[in-house]
Chains A and B, each alone.
Chain A
Amino acid sequence: MIRFDHVFKSYPNGREALHDVSFEVAAGEFVFLTGRSGAGKSSVLKLLTLLERPTRGTVTVNGQETSALPARAIPAFRRRLGIVFQDHQLLADRSVYENVALPLRVSDTGFRDVDKRVRAALDQVGLHGRERASPGELSIGEQQRVGIARAVVARPAVLIADEPTGNLDHGLAREVIELFRRFQDVGVTVLVATHDMALVREFSQREILIDEGKVYTGRSLGGEAA
């Protein structure tokens, strides 16, 4: 489902963010991507969402090799991903309903389907009845749930979360990870980037550790890098 094959990523300033990174996440798997700030997690996510291209090596998502994708195919590629951001990235001047509906609007989903799916997604994250609220009226935790509802509303095969619990207290963070687990239960591949090791230890999921641009896979709960 997700495959990094000898990936190198260097930026124009000469900094090498990733060095010969290879790992695989199977379909329906839940994986934590961990590491210190600046270790290379963001670069992995940027390559996954095609905000960046690898300098060398190949990245494959949903069976599609991203380096071969022309720019015009990027929107369709992103529509098959669900992306959750640390700062939610909600549109302040639109209602909760319209924020969640956005991925469906960009894919030309019919009005009835949009309504059905938005309500279902809000139900899944426990925000039924808050459709008309604006993001500013919600708590931080609720805003993150709206972000998650938006990420799953188009039923993506892969869900990518960038520090989704970064602004939440431990209780809320736990709830969010539980929510991701529920999506994994219905077959969604989940990759959560986090530096919250306490949270990682609480959940028995595979972890991919990145340190100084190199990846260490196969690390089990609380164990050391392989």
Chain B
Amino acid sequence: MNAISRYFSRHLQALLSAFARLLKRPFGSLLSVLVIAMALALPASLWLLVKNAQSVAGDVTESIELAVYFKLEAPLERAEELARAAVSRADVAEAVVVSADEGLEEFRQFSGFGPALDALEGNPLPHVLTVRPKADYATPEGVESLRRYLAAAAEVETVQVDGEWVRRLAALLDLLRSVLLSLAAVLGAGVLVLIGNTIRFEIGTRRAEIEVIKLVGGSNAFVRRPFLYEGVVFGLLGGLVAIGIVALVIVSLAPAVERLAVLYGGGFVLTGATILEALALVGAGTLLGWLGAWLGAARLIARIEPRD
């Protein structure tokens, strides 16, 4: 048997013995796995909700528009010139000029003040340019940059942006992301402590066995290996159960979200984790399991020495 197959066989052996030990105390193992799963599922669910919220925000930002009001004396040609310049920019999807006459006509049709308008000596409305930024640039920073560009033209009186709500939404998503990171950090630390403590307890109950193994020449790495695999198995199973919990959360929230979307005239559907995201969750659980077991086992095992 060569070194590589010996390497794999000893790791396989450690993995199988870790499973066997978990099965020896099924109730305790199940509880630990469930706690780990919940600790992983909570930030994962929140992350999916933020991701969905971002996608909603992305749809809505496509309707952001900037209204550029020209000075009354500004010629229409100037408005059209600025529209052409704006469209040539990378951040602009569309720029449409509404002349003062068109504006007045629209106002006459929709306002119901037709006779009153007839009494006016001239047209009090300016030419207006409506500019829609591209979706990628419909961020607070992108919109602000575009606003400054349009406002810089000499014939422009003012630029109105309905951007406050975009900033609020972005700030809310930023806050949610920060909460998510803090929550993930706290719960991740909790998983480390839980697994580390479980492994330390396990080592305590198997101290005599560890002493015998060391007496017959077992190294710290040999003694440690099954405990690390135990942590890995805890984390792996916790990650798998967490995927199930997240799926349940998404399935249970989906009808309510769809009803809400219909009320807003949209066809939004809540999306769950992709395969890659699910794998990342299991990977995170496995990594936390390994790290927790390492923290719990490494120093303790190194300190155990045979007494006779």
User: A interface vs B, CB < 8 Å?
Assistant: 42, 49, 51, 72, 75-81, 83, 85, 89-91, 93, 102-103, 105-108, 110-113, 150, 154, 162
Contacts and interface: CB of A to CB of B under 8 A. Distances in A.
Contacts of A42: 308
16 contacts: A42-B308, A49-B215, A51-B305, A75-B222, A76-B219, A79-B217, A83-B216, A89-B211, A93-B209, A102-B213, A102-B216, A105-B10, A106-B213, A106-B216, A108-B6, A110-B9
Contacts of A80: 217
B6 A91 contact: no
Contacts of B10: 105, 108
A78 B216 contact: yes
Nearest to B13: A105
A51 B213 contact: no
Contact of A111 (B9, B209, B211, B217): B9
B71 interface: no
A163 to B, nearest CB: 10
Nearest to B211: A89
A97 B6 CA distance: 20
A91 B209 contact: yes
Contacts of A162: 308
Nearest to A83: B215
B216 A91 contact: no
Interface of B: 1, 5-6, 9-10, 13, 209, 211-220, 222, 305-308
A167 to B, nearest CB: 14
A78 B9 contact: no
B308 A75 contact: no
Given A51-B308, A89-B215, A106-B218, 13 more contacts: A49-B306, A75-B217, A78-B216, A78-B217, A79-B216, A79-B217, A89-B308, A90-B212, A102-B212, A102-B218, A105-B222, A108-B10, A111-B9
A112 to B, nearest CB: 7
